Chains A and B, each alone.
Chain A
Amino acid sequence: MASFSLGKYVPFKTPIHKMDPRVKVAALIFLMVAVFLSYGSYTMTFTVMGALALLILILMLVSKTSILKFLKSLKSLWFMIIFLLIIYIVMPRTTGSLTPAFQIKGYQFYWESFLDAGRILLRLVMMIALSMILTSTTAPLDLTFALEWYMTPFKLIGFPAHIIAMTISLALRFIPTILEDVDRIMKAQTSRGVDFEHGGFFKKIKAIISMIIPLFVSAFVRSDELANAMECRGYDPNGKRTRYKKLSFRVGDFFALLFVACVLAGSIYITASGFDLYALLGVSVL
């Protein structure tokens, strides 16, 4: 349950919290594209990515996103790190030159393997950081509204964007309730002799089934009652409704969007033109 709080909304009043959620979603996508572009030589790549990492760090500080929580969320990445290293060591890149690093028991290691793995890893870390900034500064409901807004054009072809948005916001609303259920059912089953902590793989599966089935039953009962309650309060999925929360696009949002767009344009320019700062300065590169 602790891992659930990682991407949780933290209600501060920073400029990033106040931003239009639509702009935040767009900014997330722009910056992610920038993170995933390739920038030619290793030195250039790591320079640009370092600059992006610095920008992300500034964003984290401004938005008061807990860096401690972020580092904790990286803990689960160790598996990814080992996996990537193995992949790149077993299968080093086939294009370009390879620089031999060292040999262990006759197996040749290349520097490129480590650099490639490091690049992917850096991208992942930055992606996690960006998503975390978004989710910790944007209330789930606002995020839903933003997604609904982006889906609005599809309403023309009969896509039920408003119903999907309502479904998502209800799902978000019920996460804590369902977690409480999990806790309660686990306690109830433990008191009846089910052991969730010990035993082999199959024993554990069996124990988990004893939790899953009551959980499903309870979830269905809840959804049935919720549907009744919503109907009684006059909810009609296809009917006309007004909106309590309205999204507002302010001047600050415009500049934020402009800034992020410039970052993206700059990184696309570097990629497309093959611009290399170090070649320009005459410094020898990797």
Chain B
Amino acid sequence: MSNIIEINNLSFSYEEGSKTLDGVSFVVEEGSYVTLIGHNGSGKSTLAKVISGLVDDFTGEVKVFGLDVDRKNIKEIRAKLGLVFQNPDNQFVGSTVRDDMAFGLENRCIPTEEMNPIIEKFAAEAGMSEFLDTAPENLSGGQKQRVAIAGILSMSPDLIIYDEATSMLDPVGKKDILRLTLKLKEENPKLTVFSITHDVEEAWHADKVLVLNKGHLVLEGTPKEVFSHSDELEKIHLEAPFIVSLIKALRNNGINVPDNISSEEELEDYLCR
């Protein structure tokens, strides 16, 4: 498998003296679902900006699709990359869902006649078919994020980056977007998702978790590995997912839960048996 994102010794600072990112290195493999978690001010959003070419003058090596992120390559990289931002309102360009989805297609110079079938197909994929002519002010935050995802899908990207895409949503919206992401991953195994988040529940469903603190990468591994370091995570103000805390509490109380349990349903089955 090839590496979609390759970051080597990346450092970045907004102002002299304080480094927002300090010697960060990691890779994201094709077809994987990787989450990067960290507390506020850990540098996660800056990392998203670096990868999508919204800031330059960083030091180190940043490669996306094997191309260096710089002014020369950025157009080619962006053609295959979709970003979902934090604020659902500030990325909604059109005056209806349909117009918003068309915006990306217009930029790609897709002929007008081909737009409607594409819009309808991907709106259905993101579950927004019935809202095609709805104005953004009549949509919930979660629905707006679905539209953003639909707009990105319509450009058939190889990589989707979530820059705290669910942090402004209510728990229902969060779950909704997670379910959609997992569904998309299932349908298209080649799709790579890189999600920057502070939602540990989302991170629990990823293939790989990276933990960033004060510009340093402190932990890296599968969710199970990372969240087994619950003491270290607590030190940087990150809680373990509910299921991990629950299993830990059960074990402390003498109930021996086997290691292969990873969801609330499985735990319920085990306990009721």
Contact = CB atoms under 8 A, between A and B. Distances in A.
Q: Do A and B bind each other?
A: yes
Interface of A: 139-141, 169-170, 172-173, 176-177, 180, 221-222, 225-226, 228-236, 239-246
Interface of B: 49, 52, 54, 75, 78-79, 81-83, 85-87, 89-95, 98-99, 102-112, 115, 135-137, 151-152, 155
B95 A140 contact: yes
Contacts of B115: 242, 244
Nearest to A173: B95
Given A173-B92, A180-B137, A230-B93, A244 B99 contact: yes
B188 to A, nearest CB: 20
Contacts of A180: 137
Nearest to A231: B54
A229 B84 CA distance: 8
Given A234-B78, A234-B79, A229 B106 contact: no
A232 B83 contact: yes
B85 A228 contact: yes
A259 B136 CA distance: 38
A172 B95 contact: yes
Given A173-B95, A239-B107, A240-B109, 9 more contacts: A141-B99, A177-B137, A225-B86, A228-B49, A228-B54, A231-B54, A232-B78, A233-B151, A245-B102
A69 B137 CA distance: 22
Nearest to A144: B95
A173 B89 CA distance: 10
15 contacts: A140-B95, A176-B136, A225-B86, A228-B49, A230-B103, A233-B155, A234-B107, A236-B107, A241-B107, A242-B110, A242-B111, A242-B112, A242-B115, A244-B102, A244-B103
Given A222-B90, A225-B85, A242 B106 contact: yes
A213 to B, nearest CB: 19
A246 B112 CA distance: 8
Given A139-B95, A243-B112, A246-B112, A226 B106 contact: no
B99 A177 contact: no
Contact of A226 (B90, B111, B152): B90
Contacts of A177: 89, 136-137
A217 to B, nearest CB: 14
A231 B75 CA distance: 10
A169 to B, nearest CB: 7
A230 B151 CA distance: 12
A232 B91 CA distance: 10
Contacts of B90: 221-222, 225-226, 229
Contacts of B135: 176
B17 to A, nearest CB: 24
A235 B107 contact: yes
Please provide the 6 A-B residue pairs with the shortest distance between their CB atoms, ordered closest to farther: A244-B102, A229-B91, A234-B107, A225-B90, A176-B137, A232-B83
